[in-house]
Structure 1
Amino acid sequence: MKILVTGYNGQLGYDVVLAGKSSGLQMIGIGSQDIDIRDEQRVKEYVQTIKPDAIIHCAAYTAVDNAEDDKEICWDVNVNGTKYLSEAAKEIDSKFIYISTDYVFDGKGNTPFLETDKAAPIGYYGITKYEGEKIVQEVLDKYYIVRISWVFGINGNNFIKTMLRLAETRNELNVVDDQYGSPTYTYDLARLLIDMVLAEKYGIYHASNEGFCNWADFAMEIFKVADKPVIVNSITSGQYPTKAVRPKNSRMSKQKLIENGFKPLPKWQDALVRYVQQLAEEVK
C-alpha cells in the first residue's frame, strides 16, 4: 500500500511516516519545501503522478494566535489546500485522512464533546479547520476526519519541550488551570492512523491519549517525570491573555473509536513518561 503524508516536517507527519514504514507500507512524506498545497495545479499533478492508495493530510497552518492576523494565509493552507488534496484524492479514488482539532468546538461546558456534537469554533484557526472538515465531507466518501488535541512529538516544538527549556533557567512558572483537554503523543496517534488507513470504517473520530487534565496539571506532571524542581502556580486564562481565545473545555469523547474496534491510545501520563525518555535518548 502506498500512502502520501503531508506535513512530513511536523510532529505528526514525521511519526506517521515512521509508523507506516514499520508496518511495511510504502510511505511518501512531503513538506512545504516539496509541494505548496496552496497550488491547485501542482497538488493535482503530483497526486496523479504518485497515485497513492491513501493520503494522510497532516499539513496545516497551526499558529493559533498568528492566524487572527494572517487570515488569508491560514485560509489558503487549511481550507484551499485541503480542498485541492481532497479533489485530487477523489480523482484517483484514494482513501483520505484529514487531521482536525479540538478547536472546532466552542469549549463550553465540562463534559467531553461527542463526534456528533455541533462544531462552533471561537477562533480563526478553528474556523478554517472546520471549513476543511466540511470540504472533506462534501468531496469524498472514503474519508476519516480525526480531531486531535494538545499534540507533542519528537520532531518539532510543543508544550513539553517549552516547559523543559524554561526549567533550565526558572524554578517557578505560572500556567493556566482553566483549560482542560487531553495531551496527544504523536507516536501513539500515528499508529492509530495507520490502523485506520488499513481499515474502511470511515467517518469522524476523536483521538487523543486517554484521560483529561488542565495545562497546570500537565506542567506539574512534566516536571515530576523529568525530575525538575519547578513550582507551578495556577493562573486563569484571563491572567494570561492571548490574541486568540482558547476553548476552556477541549475534552473529547473517544467512544466512536471503541465502537468501531480501534484500540484507544494509552493514558496521557504513560505517554508522557515514554516521551520524556525518548527526549533523553535523543540528547545522548
Structure 2
Amino acid sequence: MRLLVFGRTGQVATELARVVPDAVFLGRDRADLMDPDACAAAVRDCDAVINAAAWTAVDKAESEEAAATVVNGAAPAAMARACAGLGVPFLHVSTDYVFDGTGDRPFRPDDPTGPLGAYGRSKLAGEIGVRAAGGNAAILRTSWVVSAHGANFVKTMLRLGRERESLNVVADQVGGPTPARAIAGALVGMARAMAAGQPGGTYHFSGAPDVSWADFAREIMAQAGLACVVNDIPTSAYPTPAKRPANSRMDCSALERDFGIVRPDWRAGLAEILVELGAKA
C-alpha cells in the first residue's frame, strides 16, 4: 500500500514510521500546516493519506486560537478535499476534546459535541471540514496519547517520580490512556481496509481500562519501580489556561464492529514504553 502521511516527528507519526517505514512522511519543511493550500498540493498519487500532524499545545491554543484553527481545522479540510478529488481515502486523527466532558458514560461517535476550549474547537473545525469534503474519509478520535517519544504524561511522571518523594495528580478526570503505537496500528489497518473499498466514518479509539490521571500515575510508578507516592487532588487544585474534560471515556465499539480493531490494554503498552525508555523495573 502506497501511504502518504502528514507529520514526521510527532508521537503517532513516529510510530507510523515503524509500522510502515516505506510510507512517504511529510514534515513541516514539505507541508506547513499553516499553509492549507500547500498541504492540499502535497497530496499525490497514493492509496491512502493519513493526517498525523496537528497543533497539540492545548493551553497555548487559548491565546493563539486563530493559528490553532488553521493547523487543526483548515489544513485537514484542504487535505480531505484534495483526497476527495483524487478518489483517495483520507484518515484524520481527532480528540476527545471535541466533547464537553460531562457525565460518566463513554461518549459515542454520534454524541453531540461541545468543546470546552480553543483546542477542542479547532479540532472540531477540522472534523467538520473533513466531512464536508465529500470523499471517503475516517475520523479517529483518541485520547491521552503516550509513547517513548516527545512530551507526554508518562515521561513527565518518570522525571518527577525520580526527583520527588510524592506528587499531587488530578483524580477527577477519567479517560483511556492510548499508546501511540496502537493508534498507528489502528490507522494502518483502517487505511488498508478503506483502500480496498470499505467506507470510513467517525470512530473512537482509546486504551482500556478507563482510569484517572492519578491512578495512571500510580501504575507508572509501580511499573518503573519508583517509590514516589501519588496523592489525589481535584482539578480545581491544578488550574490551567485551558479547561480539561472531566469525562474522556470513549465508546470504541463501532471501530471493533466495522474494522475488527479492539481497544488496547494501556498497561501492556505502558510496559513497552518503559522498556524502550530503559525505565522498566
Q: What is the TM-score of this pair, normalised by structure 1?
A: 0.93
Q: Which residue of 1 aligns with 2:134?
A: 140
1 CA distance for matches of 2:142 and 2:259? 18
Of the structure 1 ranges 36-45 and 178-187, higher mean CA displacement relative to structure 2 is found in: 36-45
**Residue among 34, 39, 44 paired with 1:38:** 34
Matched length: 276
RMSD over aligned CA atoms reads: 1.5
2 CA distance for matches of 1:116 and 1:163? 34
The question of whether the paired residues in 2 share the 8 Å contact of 1:173 and 1:230 is answered with: yes
Identity rate, percent: 37
Q: Offset of 1:155 from its aligned partner?
A: 2.3
Q: Which residue of 2 aligns with 1:251?
A: 249
2 CA distance for matches of 1:40 and 1:161? 32
Q: Which residue of 1 aligns with 2:11?
A: 11
Q: Which residue of 2 aligns with 1:185?
A: 179
Q: Which residue of 1 aligns with 2:64?
A: 70
Q: Which 4+ runs in 1 deviate beyond 6 A?
A: none
**Runs of 5+ consecutive residues of structure 2 not aligned to the other structure:** none
Residues 1:151 and 1:228: Cα distance change in structure 2 (over 3 Å): same
Q: Deviations over 1:6-26 (max 9, x none)?
A: 1211000111122123xxxx4
The question of whether the paired residues in 1 share the 8 Å contact of 2:178 and 2:264 is answered with: no
Residues 166-245 of structure 1: pairs in structure 2 closer than 5 A: 166-199=160-193, 200-245=198-243
2:19 counterpart of 1:27: no
2 CA distance for matches of 1:253 and 1:168? 35
Q: Offset of 1:90 from its aligned partner?
A: 1.6
Q: Offset of 1:93 from its aligned partner?
A: 1.3
1 CA distance for matches of 2:40 and 2:121? 25
SS at match of 2:112: coil
The question of whether the paired residues in 2 share the 8 Å contact of 1:37 and 1:85 is answered with: no
Q: Which residue identity lines up with residue 33 of structure 1 in the other structure? A: D
Q: Offset of 1:281 from its aligned partner?
A: 8.1
The question of whether the paired residues in 1 share the 8 Å contact of 2:142 and 2:204 is answered with: yes
**Runs of 5+ consecutive residues of structure 1 not aligned to the other structure:** none
SS at match of 1:97: strand
**Residue among 125, 135, 151 paired with 2:119:** 125
Q: Which residue of 1 aligns with 2:277?
A: 279
**Residue among 133, 140, 161 paired with 2:155:** 161
